[in-house]
């Protein structure tokens, strides 16, 4: 009896993983045209950990950074709230002041797109209107590279 439960649980876990992978591919396919046509007002938001950024950075565009996990986007919320109340940007810090305007286009990315999805939900819950889950950093870099080819 225990084996059947374990197999059923495994099937559920595999099903969730496959659903996430399909959702990620659909998200990328749907959002790549937006990323390719993004203008200078578009903000790029990296929600990976610091060590992940040290391994691979988005070199093509300036980006903002706030660590998010699947359970917690506190750092992102705090940086946005601080920017709402700031009179000027402290040198050497990310300038989240552009996020005072909730219609600012934001492309969120991470390692796989999952944390970006969580950050997107958080931003939309705060009233932001133009938030795109760009997927992984590689997805965003590929879309930006395709934009320069055209």
Give residue 35's pLDDT band: very low, low, confident or very high (50, 70, 90).
Answer: low
DSSP H or E stretch at residue 81: helix 74-85
Provide the pLDDT for residue 17.
46
Tokens of 146: 């395709």
pLDDT reading at 20 higher than 50: no
> What CA–CA distances, in Å, run from 133 to 26, 57, 87?
11, 17, 29
Provide the pLDDT for residue 37.
52
Provide the pLDDT for residue 22.
45
Higher pLDDT, residue 115 or 28 = 115
pLDDT per position as a tens digit, 78-124: 999 988 887 766 666 678 888 889 999 999 999 999 999 999 999 99
Per-domain residue ranges of the chain: 30-149
Provide the pLDDT for residue 30.
54
Return mean pLDDT, the chain. Answer: 80
**Average pLDDT of span 37-66:** 89
Round to whole Å and give the CA distance between 23 and 57. 24
Provide the pLDDT for residue 41.
83
Beta-carbon contacts of residue 62 (< 8 Å; ≥ 6 apart) = 44
Provide the pLDDT for residue 10.
52
Q: Which residue in this structure is represented by tokens 């402290």? A: 90
Round to whole Å and give the CA distance between 80 and 134. 20
CATH, domain range 30-149: 3.40.250.10
């Amino acid at each position: 009896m225990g084996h059947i439960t374990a197999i059923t649980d495994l099937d559920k876990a595999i099903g969730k993983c496959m659903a996430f992978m399909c959702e990620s591919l659909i998200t990328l396919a749907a959002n790549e045209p937006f990323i390719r046509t993004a203008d200078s007002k578009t903000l790029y938001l990296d929600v990976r950990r610091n060590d992940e950024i040290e391994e691979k950075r988005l070199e093509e565009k300036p980006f903002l950074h706030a660590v998010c996990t699947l359970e917690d986007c506190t750092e992102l919320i705090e940086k946005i709230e601080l920017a709402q109340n700031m009179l000027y940007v402290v040198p050497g810090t990310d300038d989240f002041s552009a996020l005072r305007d909730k219609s600012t286009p934001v492309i969120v990315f991470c390692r796989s797109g999952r944390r970006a999805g969580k950050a997107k939900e958080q931003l939309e819950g705060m009233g932001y209107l133009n938030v795109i889950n760009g997927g992984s950093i590689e997805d965003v870099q590929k879309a930006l590279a395709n934009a320069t080819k055209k």
